[in-house]
Structure 1
Amino acid sequence: MSVRLTGFAAGYGFRFDPFQLEACADIDAGHGVLVAAPTGSGKTVVGEYACYCALSEGRRCFYTTPIKALSNQKYHDLVERHGSGNVGLLTGDMAINGDAPVVVMTTEVLRNMIYAGSRGLGTLGYVVLDEVHYLSDRFRGAVWEEVILGLADSVQIVALSATVSNAEEFGDWLDTVRGNVDVIVWENRPVPLYQHVMAGHELLDLFGDDRARVNPALMQLAKQEARAQRDDSRRPRGRNGRGRRTVTFGSGQFGGAASGHFTQRHAEGPRLTPTRAGTVHALSRAGLLPAIFFIFSRKGCDGAVRQLLNSDVRLTSRPQAAQLREIAERHAAALSAEERRILGWHSFVEALTRGVAAHHAGLLPTFKAIVEEGFTAGLIKVVFATETLALGINMPARTVVIERLVKYNGESNADITPGEFTQLTGRAGRRGIDSEGHAVVLWQPGMDPRAVAGLASRRTYPLRSSFSTNYNMAVNLVHTVGRSKARGLLEQSFAQFQADRQVVALARQGSAVQARADQLWEQARCDRGDFAEYARLREQIGELEDERARLRRQDRRAGVLDALERLEPGDLCRVGGGRHRGWMVVVQAGVPGAREVHPLVMDEKHQLVRIVPAELTGPPQVVSRVRIPKRFTVHSATDRRTLARAFDARVASLDESVGPAPSVPLDEQISAQLDALRAALLVHPCHSCPERESHARLAEQALRLEREQQHSRARGAARANSVAARFDRTCAVLDALGYLDPRGGRELPVPGLVLTRIYTELDLVTVEAIRRGVFGELTGPALGAVLASLLYESRATGPGPAQMPDEASERAYQALRGVWRDVGMVERDHRVERGRDLDTGFSQAVWLWAHGADLATVLSQTGFLAGDFVRWIRQVIDLAGQIGAAPGLDGIGAAKLGPAARSLVTMIRRGIVDVSLGPDD
């Protein structure tokens, strides 16, 4: 052990583990390291050693984290160790001592510094990438690869990861692109973890005495439950036919089966699913508190706290309650009495002083800080949390409780994966405090203990690259190193590294498939001619027919959606086909920006119906206008009759002069090809063969195998240069819209320079809207409302798209939708996946806040949780700040937009938004 390492280790109150010593020695040797170790094992010691080395060498170390909350936490840890003068913090909206030798920052900040060629990189010697397994994140993962590829060769990388099953593969890639990177995998938990199942009032071990087989007592419970279910299923149902209830989500292996194999009894039998209060009491009696209860729902977390408030649960002493109240008052000193009222401060503090709290992304950041400090101090005994708590924040507990092994994954309710289970239970066991950690799964109806044991014993958490070129990345790389070098750099990405390894496996599968196809072609041989040629003619015809139908559907849907969005009350339309063929008048317009636009119309039968896009064969043709009665009410028979008379009169005056609505035109080129192929098919000698259909069945099998083979080869070819090909297509879109040098050089046109500083998912749409003057003379509330539509994404349980708040924002939003559609057409032409749609769900909230509305008004009128409101407002602040600081706005006719954007930031960064240091989780 070197003298420097010995001095460093002396500053800690525990003896370093072998993996920590090995990793620190590698840093001393001038190597980069990848350390993959369980949560709570102390791998951050290795990152802290990099900071120590930088200070001793007179160089700089950047300590990067994926979320602001973790950056804040790490900043305070390093300040305590090295002093505030040596440590800085940069998180996008927070800058403290940014020129310090050790700076903690979010990974995005470092990425932006690399692209900007920041002078701060000049003396950089070390970069710590904490929680580097975030590069699997499909939304933000690319940032880690951009940083790894973009840092100077002289920088030593210290990558810290949770336990992943392919750490060696990731390490091989790091060594390939960085050189001299050592991989250290440590699978020993510093605190042993024991698995349990809580059934009824009893806490049972998941595994038997030999730690290999499932506890027989759990298997017996499952059998008893299944037997009771079978007895109950033979009972006749009541008059209402219900009698039983089937739980409808998940695969069923952990309980709650969608398949319907399990039916929960209501009337008889012991209750095996424990109550929350009962579970808390049981854990308290067993000395297993503090505990984190993972509930995969924000409302579920808040509801659980209310349940315990309504029970006899009290887990703190009077001195502890007083300490918690002091922590709460200290953090919330800036909150007004009215803000406290709307935020439910009294209930929050009441639960807190009992030792109970919730922690989730919808919680106000101030409340989160209170919970985190109280829990870390050992004062809070039970926290109900969503899985975001498992993503790096240092809040370990003695016990982790998982209520259900099913969660909503953004599309449906699905079983949690072994990797997610490992990540969640990794919070159990506090190093230096607990001799062991405990993971408890609550019994659910229909639970299979063997499946739970399989989940708990597996450690499959593979690291998969989510790297994909976006527009901002492309312009920055081209501007920094040129297009050719940028392409070569992207070919070195981890995504490409993994893809290349898969190409070999695909090639091995091909030979067997081709051999079987050759056998089938031999059996389909025809004495009248080349049946393979005939079969391929048939296949071509089928493919072209499918392609024509697909294009018709695609074009029709795009046209229908666009037309429906433009409809206004009073528009008299003609529909050429489908369920609503004929005349109709629009009574209420649809909601712009909604996932489906469903305007309310009166049809020829004088019925009021909602138009669904799928029910139309083509876009409605606006022919004229009908006056809608003032204060028209859909429930008023008089109003409907008045409208019907006006409707009929207007139609009668037009019917003879207006022809039928045009149908969707066919693709003439495809139609001509089809005519030629059908003619060739009819004269082919095999067409008259009496065994034609028998041969055709064999040929179809052979063709299917050949298609599989072609697809396999295409996948291999695509993977062989997938990242570079995506970069080429992205650049083609940028070329088409004038963002890159047409001569292929590094110098960017002014729009490209603006784009280099816009970091958002719809970056290109944002800059194109600026170029076209969409934001024009917008200021304050209207500007904030329109910018919000570029950022916000509706959740299944949160506010969805709504009308824009005023005329100015509505006009700008409609123009912005036009830009979004136009960019989408260019993306389609160059086979680039279209950016997500605009969403107006947060626009009203920004508009109200920018107008000076208080928090109570905003939350009551929009339905947002306080934490979500603060989080989305901060994203609007971030985008407005990017626009306000972007270079070259005057060069694209947007000189006034910069001051307007900066003014908006000042306007909405007030009150609870300004005092809350919001994590970006």
Structure 2
Amino acid sequence: MTSPSLTGELAAFAAELPFPLDPFQCEACAALQSGHSVLVCAPTGAGKTIVGEFAVHMARAAGGKCFYTTPIKALSNQKYNDLVERYGRDAVGLLTGDQSVNPGADVVVMTTEVLRNMLYAGSDALRGLSHVVMDEVHYLADRFRGAVWEEVILHLPPDVRLVSLSATVSNAEEFGAWMETVRGDTAVVVDETRPVPLWQHVLVGKRMFDLFDPKSSAGKIVVDRDLQQYIKQREAADRMNSWSPGPRGRGGGPRRDFRPVPRPEVISRLDDEGLLPAITFIFSRAGCDAALAQCVRSRLDLSDPEQFDQVEAIIAKHTGDLPRADLEVLGYWGWREALHRGFAAHHAGILPAFRHTVEELFVNGLVRAVFATETLALGINMPARTVVLERLVKFNGETHAELTPGEYTQLTGRAGRRGIDVEGHAVVLWGPGVDTSAVAGLASTRTFPLRSSFRPGYNMSINLIDRMGAAESRALLERSFAQFQADRSVVGLVRGIERNEGQLRKLRSQIGDDGFLEYMSLRDRIRRRERDLEQQGRSDRRGAAVAALESLRRGDVVAIPSGRRQGLAVILEPDATPGDPRPLVLTEDKWAGRVSAADFPTPAKTLGRMRLPRHVDHRTARTRRDLASALRSTGLVPPGRERRGTRSKGADDRELDTLRRALRSHPAHSRPDREQLARIGERMVRLERETEKMRQEVAATTNSLARVFDRIVGLLEERGYVADGEVTADGRRLARIYSEADLVVAECLRRGSWRGLGPAELAAVVSILVYESRQEAGGLLAATGPTAPIRRAVGETITVWSELRTDEARHKLPPTREPDLGFVDGIHKWARGDGLAESLLASGDQGNALAAGDFVRWCRQVIDLLDQIHNTADDVEVAATAAKAVRAMRRGVVAVDSA
């Protein structure tokens, strides 16, 4: 039904829809129809893509082209299917890293990287382009792939209308202001209303509570009183039950035996409340798999027997082409049984064909409970009635951190299916340490600022120079959103500098005498010299303690001078790690563990020696008891505590002595108002330092991206990729390599490091520049591999990388990531034709076989890089070998359900 206020193409477009447009959709579409670019920020499920589909309609109506870009292949496939259903297969194309369907169509769906590559190559496909839709544009905050979005926005021809669709961000106006500067007139449309209201709950044991007090006044966050009271009663009961006779439950001690409600019972509880289908977010793959296994072992069954054939048909559609020999390896039968009972797991470690099966079954209501990692929240159209959060802490790649309000909003945004559910539900599972006030804060905060991750790299820089020269490239980088945000931060710093300078002028007028400023300078120099000497003294003392620990041998008896471990200790395992030795010791009170220089304010001295058994298992209580007894029986006595710092390091420092004499002889030293003026002077010194620090920040921030670009150009000139401001033949090869290790790849091709390899060997060697272990491997391994040619080529590749790292350090550039050898054996086996089981076992970290989904993902990334090598290598033999490697790898699970 067409709204009377809609006109032109918008009225025609709206008439084809089975539902009326929301106000924000009308506003954005009207702006687009008026010739503006638009930025639309709205919650998940609000219907932002309608604006993108109107851009497609506008382009077709005007006889132009529209490119619809998404951040990941799965979303591209999803959008392609939507548009094919609307306009027909002949009218729509699809371009992803490994798929090309009808690329000459007037409407083409593609990943954002594909469009970026088209722009750099000056592709003929760009002719007639009138509209570009950038779905999930908030991805430009992604530190690995975010730069691609800004590259596209900056490089698109000025007459192309840009439709940017984003999740709700708190700085939409800032992003829109930047878009206005680089794209011209841009309308910013922000809608913060969820299309389906969201109710927040906490599940404590088997009891469900509302998170917020229904009687609380608007705008005031009040946690439900019944919930708070029940948790207090539960905690009090747990404390009473946790005390029993005996140590730790056997003789008088507290027990910490909280057990969460089993997952099948949680799902059954939600089912009883009518809250299925549900997605339970568990922030680990192993946790998702364990949850699924729990449900399979239980009696939980959420299925409808009448839907058995429908489920089976969807399973067969996605997995029918999988080699039968691989099904056992993939755990197919247990996975299939779970689907028929209505539940599944979903994470990146699962085979893509399995993930896509789960997605289709869930969207069609045939699977009603999914256990997923947070990757499911990143764009896949898989809404539920309810979202469950087991924990509010997740591992962010470096440490376990609490969820941010933005992450909480993104996860719970899946709850509530538009057109199906009247309301959505978010359920947090309570456990010890869960603060309901903190949960309420997460649930009520809508702050998700968009921060640019844009940084110039080798490939980007060489393409910029090739297209527009170094001077225009610098100007373009200064127009990036990253620099825009940096320059905005400078505004505050400049104001701070001006404010401080005004205060300094007032303070100088109060002192009035330049001679007193000289006196204050002397006092400040003395203070800094004393501080430097004290730091030097601490450093010297630590250095002596480190040297003493490094020299200790097995069986040496030392005295730990202070702290909880004070007393005698025997060295069980020496450690000579440079700078931070941590020998394993056993103390006379039976404690075994590692000590460091921090435990020795004075250097450790060997008091004597003890004979130790050849093998000492310090983990057993009996061994610790016997050794501690033997240590005490040596008769050795710890020396008395040594006094530390009895003489200041500055007591005989000549520079400090000179400064002190100059201070005492200065005329201002005898002034009666000296200390009053000194306090004013100290404030001046603090303000001057603060002001200087802000000036340095301004200098570092202004044109920061252009300075990085200049350093990159300097390195590329040294290596012959740029000469006299022009891109060389080697540089043009680098311009066509899109990889995190782009310059290493280009150097290896130029040096012929990969000549003489077979297809499987080339795949294995190339993998070290793509693969990244999920666990720390503990440093670069020696050049290893199953064949001599692989070992030789890996060694040469590591040499290229090492030389580049040295140059990057000299040019003050971020280092290229280390090669990772964890995939060499596995991909070699796969590319030479071995089975999936053998290839998985030969891959992975520290003896753990790689998950099937990870294996396929890494294989496809290696294929992508091999394709680039095939298209860019001047060496005909290497190019042909790369093509053969691609064909050898595209089989079985790697070829099925490619998305």
TM-score normalised by the chain length of structure 2: 0.81
Aligned residue for 2:744? Answer: 765
Distance 1:850 1:159 in 2: 40
Q: In structure 2, how many angstroms separate the alpha carbons of the residues matched to 1:401 and 1:366?
A: 25
Corresponding position of 1:913: 894
Return closer, same or farther for 1:523/1:195 CA change in 2, 3 Å cut-off.
Answer: farther
Equivalent of residue 869 in structure 1, options 855, 873, 878: 855
Alignment-mate amino acid for residue 194 of structure 1: W
Summarize the Cα distance change of 1:680–1:291 in structure 2 as closer, same or farther, 3 Å threshold: same
Matched residue pairs, number?
786
Q: 2:357 aligns with which of 357, 361, 370?
A: 370
* AA aligned opposite 1:782: E
CA distance in 2, matches of 1:544, 1:503: 36
Distance 1:542 1:709, change over 3 A: same
Structure 1 residues 440 and 686: CA distance shift in structure 2, 3 A: same
Task: Choose the corresponding residue for 2:233, options 221, 224, 228.
Answer: 224
Distance 1:478 1:17, change over 3 A: same
* In 2, Cα distance between equivalents of 1:282 and 1:325: 27
Tell me, which stretches of 5 or more residues in structure 1 are unaligned? 246-263, 557-575, 584-606, 618-636, 638-677
Q: How far off is 1:816 after superposition?
A: 2.1
Distance 2:237 2:313 in 1: 52
Label 1:55 to 1:800 Cα distance change in 2 as closer, same or farther (>3 A): farther
Q: Is 86-95 or 694-703 further displaced after alignment? A: 694-703
From 825, 833, 840, the counterpart of 2:806: 825
Matches within 5 A, 1:397-476: 397-476=384-463
What is the SS of the residue equivalent to 1:127?
strand
Q: Corresponding residue for 2:373?
A: 386
Residue 769 of structure 2 aligns to a residue in which SS?
Answer: helix
CA positional deviation for 1:110: 0.4
1:58 equivalent to 2:52? Answer no
The answer on 1:838 being equivalent to 2:819 is yes
1:805 aligns with 2:785: yes
The SS at the match of 1:158 is strand
Encode CA deviations 1:283-328: one digit per residue, 9 max, x unaligned: 1111111111111111111111110011111011112232112211
Alignment-derived partner of residue 858 in structure 1: 839
Residue 685 of structure 1: how far off its partner (Å): 7.3
Q: Is the 8 A contact 1:681 1:687 kept in 2?
A: no
Partner of 1:532: 521
CA distance in 2, matches of 1:582, 1:814: 37
Q: Deviations over 1:21-59 (max 9, x none)?
A: 111111111111011011111110110111111111111
Post-superposition offset of 1:809: 2.1
1:171-220 CA distance string (max 9 Å, x none)? 11111110111011111111111111111212211112236522111111
Q: 1:26 aligns with which of 25, 31, 35?
A: 31
- 1:49 aligns with 54
Compare CA radii of gyration and give the structure with the larger one: 2
For residues 28 and 424 of structure 1, the distance between their equivalents in structure 2, rounded to whole angstroms, comes to 33
Q: What's the secondary structure of 1:790's corresponding residue?
A: coil
Which residue of the partner structure matches residue 215 of structure 1? Answer: 224
1:680 to partner: Cα distance: 7.0
Preserved contact between residue 293 and residue 383 of structure 1 (Cα < 8 Å) = yes
Maintained 8 Å contact 1:529/1:686: no
Alpha-carbon separation, structure 1, partners of 2:837 and 2:342: 27
- State the 1:439 CA deviation: 0.9
Matched residues in 1 for 2:337 and 2:57: separation? 43
The counterpart of 2:753, out of the listed 774, 778, 783, is 774
| SS across alignment from 2:302 | coil
Moved more, 805-814 or 845-854: 805-814
* Equivalent-residue separation in structure 2 for 1:495 and 1:507 (angstroms): 19
Shift of 1:826: 1.4
Query: Aligned with 2:861: secondary structure?
Result: helix
**Alpha-carbon distance change, 545 to 199 in structure 1, aligned in 2, over 3 angstroms:** closer
Distance in 2, Cα, partners of 1:836 & 1:42: 39
Which residue number in structure 2 is paired with residue 788 of structure 1?
767
Q: How does 1:232-243 map to 2 (within 5 A)?
A: 238=247, 243=253
> Residue in 2 aligned with 1:657?
none
Q: Secondary structure at the match of 1:411?
A: coil
Aligned pairs for 1:610-759 (under 5 A) are 612=577, 614=579, 686=661, 689=664, 706-741=688-723, 743-744=724-725, 747-759=726-738
Does structure 2 retain, via aligned residues, the 8 Å contact 1:171–1:182? yes
Which is worse superposed, 823-832 or 376-385?
823-832
1:84-129 deviation digits (Å, cap 9, x = unpaired): 1110000111110011000000000000000000011111000000
Residue 12 of structure 1 deviates from its aligned partner by 1.9
Structure 1 distance, partners of 2:158, 2:414, is: 36
Q: In structure 1, what is the Cα distance between the partners aligned to 2:823 and 2:870? A: 21
Which residue identity lines up with residue 132 of structure 2 in the other structure? Answer: V
Aligned mate of 2:885, from 904, 909, 914? 904
Q: Take 2:17 and 2:885, find their aligned partners in 1: how far apart are those partners? A: 47
Moved more, 162-171 or 810-819: 810-819
Residue type at the aligned position of 2:262:
T
1:255 is aligned to none
Matched to 1:173, the amino acid is: W
Alignment of 1:269-288 (within 5 A): 273-288=260-275
Matches of 2:779 and 2:353, distance apart in 1: 26
After the TM superposition, which residues 448-597 of structure 1 pair with which residues of structure 2 at under 5 Å, given as runs? 448-510=435-497, 532=521, 535-536=524-525
Residue identity opposite 2:229 in structure 1: Q
> Take 1:535 and 1:727, find their aligned partners in 2: how far apart are those partners?
40
Structure 2: 5+ residue runs without aligned partners? Answer: 1-5, 554-571, 583-613, 615-652, 670-674, 844-848
CA shift for structure 1 position 244: 4.1
> Residue 90 of structure 1 is aligned with which of 95, 103, 108?
95
Distance 2:533 2:78 in 1: 59
Per-residue Cα deviation, 1:789-824 (whole angstroms, up to 9, x for no partner): 111221139999766323322222222222222111
SS of equivalent to 2:727: coil
Following superposition, the deviation at residue 470 of structure 1 comes to 0.8
- Cα distance in 2 for partners of 1:328, 1:757 equals 39
Q: In 1, Cα distance between the equivalents of 2:532 and 2:806?
A: 24
- Asked if the contact 2:351/2:856 (under 8 Å) is kept, the reply is yes
Residue identity (%):
49
**Residue 332 of structure 2 is aligned to residue 345 of structure 1:** yes
Residue 538 of structure 1 and its aligned partner are, at CA, apart by 8.2
> Is residue 188 of structure 2 the alignment partner of residue 188 of structure 1?
no
Partner of 1:883: 869
Whole-Å Cα distance in 2 between the matches of residues 232 and 515 of structure 1? 65
Q: Aligned to 1:445, what secondary structure does the other structure show?
A: coil
One-letter amino acid of the structure 2 residue matched with residue 788 of structure 1: S
Query: Cα offset for 1:784?
Result: 1.8
Deviation, 1:713, is 1.6
Tell me the amino acid that sits aligned with residue 399 of structure 1.
T
Q: Distance in 2 between matches of 1:314 and 1:399?
A: 18
Give the superposition deviation at 1:236. 7.3
2: CA distance between counterparts of 1:454 and 1:723?
36
Aligned-CA RMSD value = 3.7
Counterpart residue type for residue 168 of structure 1: E
Quick check: 2:275–2:385 contact (8 Å CA) kept in 1? Answer: yes
CA, structure 1 residues 524+437, in 2 after alignment: closer, same or farther (shift >3 Å)?
farther
Query: What SS does the aligned partner of 2:450 have?
Result: coil
